[in-house]
Amino acid sequence: MTRPVHRVAPATDTPVRQESLRAHNLSLTFRQIVGAPAPISRIELAVATGLTRPTITRIVDELLAGGLIVEAAPSRSGNSGRPRVGLSLAPTGPAGLGLDIRVDALSACVVDLTGTVRHLAFAARPPAAADALARLAEMGRAAMAAAAAEDLTVVGTTLAAPGPVENASVVRFAPVLGWRDVDAGAALRPALGEVTVDHDAGLAALGELYASAPALRNFVCVSGEFDIGAGIVLEGSLLRGARGWSGSLGHVAVTADGPECACGATGCLQHYAGLQQILGASPASAAPAGGPATASVPVLAPAVAIDTLVSSGDTATLAALERAGTALGVALSALVNIIDVDTVLLGGSYSLLASWLIEGVERELNRRVLTASWAPVSVRPAPLGPDAAVIGAALSAIDRVRQDPNSWLARA
Amino acid sequence: MTRPVHRVAPATDTPVRQESLRAHNLSLTFRQIVGAPAPISRIELAVATGLTRPTITRIVDELLAGGLIVEAAPSRSGNSGRPRVGLSLAPTGPAGLGLDIRVDALSACVVDLTGTVRHLAFAARPPAAADALARLAEMGRAAMAAAAAEDLTVVGTTLAAPGPVENASVVRFAPVLGWRDVDAGAALRPALGEVTVDHDAGLAALGELYASAPALRNFVCVSGEFDIGAGIVLEGSLLRGARGWSGSLGHVAVTADGPECACGATGCLQHYAGLQQILGASPASAAPAGGPATASVPVLAPAVAIDTLVSSGDTATLAALERAGTALGVALSALVNIIDVDTVLLGGSYSLLASWLIEGVERELNRRVLTASWAPVSVRPAPLGPDAAVIGAALSAIDRVRQDPNSWLARA
DNA sequence: GAGTTACGTCAATGTCTGTAACAAATTAGC
DNA sequence: GCTAATTTGTTACAGACATTGACGTAACTC
């Protein structure tokens, strides 16, 4: 009756020594602390992990010495007796650095072990790739300095890029930036050390995942920037695909014999639900559609412009939004039919336009998803919205420590 | 530079004791023997696993005593000295039982540890669900008896069903069989013991995976029976989706405003590429399209009928096949854009019609998949074809022992 | 002060590792 | 044909390490 698990790949392909045993149990205990909604005591940890108290004592000592956790004020367990000492993640120590390059802005973000955003900065994007990367490197160094001032050490950096990435370093193709085969990882490494480059849609989904944890475990997060991407999370882990290029939702066909798309195919979702297309629907819109922001706050110029148009009663834009919602629903139906997730988050710019899109999306999902009649798909705006990618990037960097605290303890 | 892995779910959520250490290393060693293309010696195992020779000796003794492996004839290693003793999987001992219920036939299959098909039987499908399940139970018992006669013990049974399954037991919805909420697992359990019920498309993909191992690790296998399903394998493990309902390719929209489908939506792939639709294209076809087979061999009546029509120069059918290939290509492009696999296998009935479909599928994939220009998708017929689901079901049953030999050793 | 709960400490147990030395089976050379 | 060298596999024993289980200590309520 248990859910079957199939794989040809071995569960773990390394031999286990007594030493790894210790590391495993330490990691297991630490993950319990990470996942706990409130400070957790040693006794509770022993129950949760199945380890004995003495072992927990030893492991907790090690984590305390390494600065990964702190003892909180003794908490009442209701009964009499010695009160439990709460353990929670340290607000200092390791931190993750996230960088994001969007059409309209660059951003940098530092997140600590607890998942709290400790630093978040934005800047305009210089048009040239080299300039943008240089600016990002500066922002990264500034963020690291700001982190150091708060007793945080950046242990990993992730860059979110709007396109498929190879070897966690080279951006193969990012039409909205005009990039092709840009080795962003190599460009940033001299200034920032090891950098992992990843697709922004996936990182945005991770951001929403961590921010919502443990509420959401299976969902897709549609990042409506200029490129429509989907980050798919199954059982709390990001679906990356064979080569890490999953989630190209923008070029799923909505109508196979529809109008031609810039990619060469016909009837792509991008044509119906792209921001540029929605904006272009109204003759009133003279928006530059993608000009760099100049302020030090995140500006989603196109989404804001659309919002303004609709609020002022522009019927053409309203109709375009209706079309976009329907098309998005068709493409998402394909996605849900193919991979079966139960929740759809409208992220990125779409989170700002959700109220106009959600109806069309839900209608198509209910019509087209085979299992929707007895297990409806939930659609809602993504809580983190346009900042999900930077935050997700930072979280994905710090998450390596959260999943394997031994790496931090070894170097401390 | 290593590929990032993200998850909120813990790597392993159980504590590790000294005892589990032994079990882990035994399992690790056994998987090496499973994965080895030829009999492997103790020395080679020591190198492959990273364990020491004495440890390997002890583990191998245990596996030999448990009857999971056998010593083969000493093999030449080229050099002088004592020849290596090859170790390979035992052809006796545990076996997996697979059952499949198709429109046109029932089948049962026994596979041993080595992955060899030791028994394969077919029968006509009685129209009523209860009768079909009773017949399957008989076939299962006969297969178990046949297995026992060859010193095989069935350790697990899997049933492949043409529709979404809940709790590994209840078939929610199988339109081609006229089933709705049939608890197939419960029906078979009295006769066969514990039975796992699973979607046929996924099991077919597993069949192709195990049969091809280690060649394929990331692919989708389209099962063209009456319902078009897709089994998706990523990194050697089956993508199941949040509730195990992934792979409903048949109801992906090819043309959002296309003709109405039986499911209530419009423009579904099923309408363009379903066997019934292809057959229906020709006025010459008076085929009953789905009548039960009566012979004791697998009869794919519709596929054979199509084949006959085309061979006799029926242009309407040829045109229908062309449309089907194109539509399939559109839907598969959506799938590949969304989850990024590098290989498409045309399975089930499509494997028999592959030569007429493959051109259209490849054309659309090359046009529509964003990454196809620098990383083309390979399309080919599935080697196991229509029998992949039964074989995959049996393999998935025996695979539990292959992944964790301790379960077998504990009971032997 | 008694009772209760939380936490720390210590010897005992069991597992793997490493380093041996040893036995077995074959080839190479005289 | 016999001996030496070579490679493979087994056995033995000390050492290291982590968990366990039992016992002892700390802190708080009634």
Give the whole-number percent of chain B exceeding pLDDT 70: 87
Q: Taking residues B218-242, report their average pLDDT.
A: 91
Q: What is the mean pLDDT of chain A?
A: 87
Helix (H, G, I), strand (E, B) or coil at A219: strand
Q: How far is B295 from chain A (nearest CA, A)?
A: 33
Structure tokens at B392: 């995959």
CATH code for the structural domain at A19-89? 1.10.10.10
Helix (H, G, I), strand (E, B) or coil at A346: strand
Cα torsion through B362, B363, B368, B372, rounded to 10: 60
Spatial neighbors of A346 by CB under 8 A, at least 6 apart, are A222, A224, A353, A354, A357, A358, A361, A379, A380, A381, A382
B251: pLDDT strictly greater than 90: yes
Amino acid letter, residue A217: R
| pLDDT bracket for residue A224 (50, 70, 90) | confident
| pLDDT bracket for residue B253 (50, 70, 90) | very high
* Nearest-nucleotide field for B77 (CA, C1'): D7
Q: Taking residues A53-77, report their average pLDDT.
A: 85
Q: In angstroms, rounded to a whole number, what is the distance separating the alpha carbons of residues B234 and B273?
A: 25
Q: Edge-to-edge strand order for the sheet containing B165-166?
A: B165-166, B170-174, B179-183
Predicted local confidence at residue A50, as pLDDT: 83
CA to C1' distance (Å), from B74 to D4: 23
* Nearest-nucleotide field for B18 (CA, C1'): C15
Please check whether strand C approaches the CB of A76 to within 7 Å. Answer: no
Structure tokens at B402: 């292959």
Predicted local confidence at residue B47, as pLDDT: 87
Q: Phi, psi at residue A89, to the nearest 5°?
A: -65, 140
Predicted local confidence at residue A13, as pLDDT: 60
Q: Quick one: which residue's CA is nearest to C13's C1'?
A: B18
Locus of tokens 């992906």: B252
Q: In angstroms, rounded to a whole number, what is the distance separating the alpha carbons of residues B402 and A6?
A: 11
Chain C bases closer than 7 A to any CB of the protein: 3-10, 14-20, 23-28
Q: Is B232 on the interface with A (CB under 8 A)?
A: yes
Please give residues of chain B from 23 to 52 whose alpha-adjacent beta carbon (CB) lies under 7 Å from any atom of strand D.
41-43
The ranges assigned to domains in chain B are: 18-89, 93-206+390-411, 212-385
Helix (H) or strand (E) holding A330: helix A315-339
Q: Do B219 and B343 form a contact (C-beta atoms < 8 A)?
A: yes
**Overall fold of domain A93-206+390-411:** Nucleotidyltransferase; domain 5 (3.30.420)
In this chain, the answer to whether the domains covering B18-89 and B93-206+390-411 adopt an identical fold is: no
| pLDDT bracket for residue B187 (50, 70, 90) | very high
Q: How far is B79 from chain A (nearest CA, A)?
A: 29
Selected residue of A25, A257, A333, A368 to mutate for chain B interface (largest B Cβ count, 10 A): A368
Locus of tokens 């009295």: B190
Query: pLDDT tens-digit profile of B35-46?
Result: 888 899 998 888
CATH code for the structural domain at B18-89? 1.10.10.10
CB contact under 8 A, A370 and B10: no
Q: Taking residues A329-353, report their average pLDDT.
A: 95
Query: pLDDT tens-digit profile of B211-223?
Result: 887 789 999 999 8
Q: Taking residues A314-330, report their average pLDDT.
A: 91
User: Closest chain B residue to A168 measured between Cα atoms?
Assistant: B1
Q: Choose the weakest-confidence range: A114-118, B9-13, B197-201, B238-242.
A: B9-13
Domain A214-383 bears CATH identifier 3.40.190.10: no
Query: pLDDT tens-digit profile of B258-290?
Result: 999 888 899 999 999 988 888 776 665 444 433
Going by C-alpha positions, the residue among A328, A246, A322, A320 that lies closest to residue A283 is: A320
One-character DSSP codes across A29-46: HHHHHHH-SS-B-HHHHH
Please check whether strand D approaches the CB of B78 to within 7 Å. Answer: no
Query: pLDDT tens-digit profile of A239-259?
Result: 999 999 999 999 999 999 999
Q: In angstroms, rounded to a whole number, what is the distance separating the alpha carbons of residues B366 and A294?
A: 40
CATH code for the structural domain at B212-385? 3.30.420.40
Q: What is the mean pLDDT of chain B?
A: 87
Going by C-alpha positions, the residue among B228, B171, B270 that lies closest to residue A374 is: B171
A226: pLDDT strictly greater than 90: no
Please give residues of chain B from 243 to 272 whose alpha-adjacent beta carbon (CB) lies under 7 Å from any atom of strand D.
none
Kind of pairing between the strands at A69-75 and A84-89: antiparallel
Query: pLDDT tens-digit profile of B317-328?
Result: 889 999 999 999
Facing A15 at nearest CB: one of B1, B49, B340: B49
Locus of tokens 């080595």: B114
Higher pLDDT, A397 or A352: A397
Selected residue of A8, A21, A268, A336 to mutate for chain B interface (largest B Cβ count, 10 A): A8
Q: Choose the weakest-confidence range: A289-293, B141-145, B389-393.
A: A289-293
Strand partners, B89: B69
